Amino acid sequence: MSPLLGRIEAERLCEAFAGYGAGGYRNLAYFACCSVLRGEKGQRFAREFLGRSGMKAVIGYATTVDWMASLVADMLFLHRFYRDPSPWRNLRKIFNSVRRDYPAARRLGYTLILGR
């Protein structure tokens, strides 16, 4: 089954992105799908993913999301991130501004988890 049509398990994602953030290149994973970061299991996945990939951060959702509402949150974040003169230094500030300005983001469980 194609991963686009099926479920990809956490271990396969961690394996696929192992070392991706190595070499000083700053990057983040953006999981724009339902419930990836839900509860302790989601938090554990995010920490494992960040540790194995070496990425700077993970952004995703902790609830089942309406695709249009989540698309608005995604676009707001990306627009603000790419327009910011120092997006990596201001990552948390940019993310929090989306949660502040777009109440649906909070209801969707829009979540940022930073790596080490």
How many domains does the structure of the chain reveal? 1
What confidence tens digit (pLDDT) does each residue in 38-88 have? 889 989 989 998 999 999 999 998 888 888 999 999 999 999 999 999 999
Q: What tokens appear for 21 in the block?
A: 């953030």
| Domain annotation covers residue 3 | no
Contact assessment for residue 37 and residue 60, using Cβ atoms and an 8 Å cutoff: yes
| Domain annotation covers residue 38 | yes
| Domain annotation covers residue 92 | yes
Q: What tokens appear for 28 in the block?
A: 């983040």
| Domain annotation covers residue 93 | yes
Say which DSSP state 20 is in. Answer: T
What percentage of residues in the chain have a pLDDT greater than 70?
95
Residue 114 bridge partners (DSSP): 57
The average confidence (pLDDT) of the chain is 88
pTM to 2 decimals?
Answer: 0.85
| Domain annotation covers residue 1 | no
**Domain span at 62:** 10-114
Q: How far is CA 19 from CA 16, 79, 99, in A?
A: 9, 27, 30
Secondary structure (3-state) at 64:
coil
